[in-house]
Amino acid sequence: PLVSLCSGPVVVSQCSSEGLCPAACRSCQLCCDDGSVLPGNPSMLCCGSEAYSPSKESCCLGHLTVGVSEMVADCCGRKAYYPLSQLCCDGEIREQEPHHACCGTEVYNTQTQACCGHQRNLTLSLRHPRDSCCGDVLFNQETETCCADLKVRPVSEGSRCCVSTPYHPNITECVKGTVISVALTGGRCCNSVGYNPSTHICCAGNITEKEQGVPYQHCCGHLPFDPAVEICCSGHRYPPPRCPRSA
């Protein structure tokens, strides 16, 4: 009698009086992970409830693609495809051509088109070499600005974005998402407020006018102090020579 023995993924039949049958014997079977036993040979594998030959077929997520060798193919969802000549675009197989890439489930020409949209699935024709995506539309990076609100504005309204607001960095600044005016050259921000560092000093978010005739001033807590005539101890100003012991 023949007794089936499972050796790895292959079940071979053992003859009680002659030992193991040759590997090419017709009685060889496949023992699959789900416990099913399928007719096959040692060169075959299991794909769900089917046996297949990797040299002639491919198994993708338990589904067979006949005529596409698993040895040179990749999976695109449940189907096999040739990555050297095809593209897998969101589960759809498309033919590959020079300068082509995926845009959603379709392909687009990267030389003449752009892939835009929140889901990156909208193909638009380029009008200018400097065109780029701004949400669902294109904008020219040389003449237009696209901010966080995805609205295209002329660069005359601002060459940079402060969140959703365009601004001109030479006359305004973006501080914590707010555009503030800096009237004088060398202007700076202090807690979202513009100030002139040549006449004022920012200490812990407070703007204070500098004392006239004092060239070097520093902050001591919320107030400025002159290190030439004062010392700062734990955010408090004291006359020299040293800080009080309790400071």
pLDDT tens by residue, the chain, 247 residues: 333 444 444 444 433 334 444 444 445 777 777 777 777 777 888 888 888 999 999 999 999 999 999 999 999 999 999 999 999 999 999 999 999 999 999 999 999 999 999 999 999 999 999 999 999 999 999 999 999 999 999 999 988 999 999 998 877 878 778 887 765 445 677 877 777 787 888 999 888 888 777 777 889 998 888 888 888 998 888 888 777 765 4
**Domain coverage including residue 59:** 28-85
In a domain, 93, yes or no: no
Model confidence, pTM: 0.59
In a domain, 72, yes or no: yes
| Whole-number Cα distances in Å, 69 to 39, 48, 179 | 20, 17, 60
In a domain, 14, yes or no: no
Structural domain count, the chain:
1
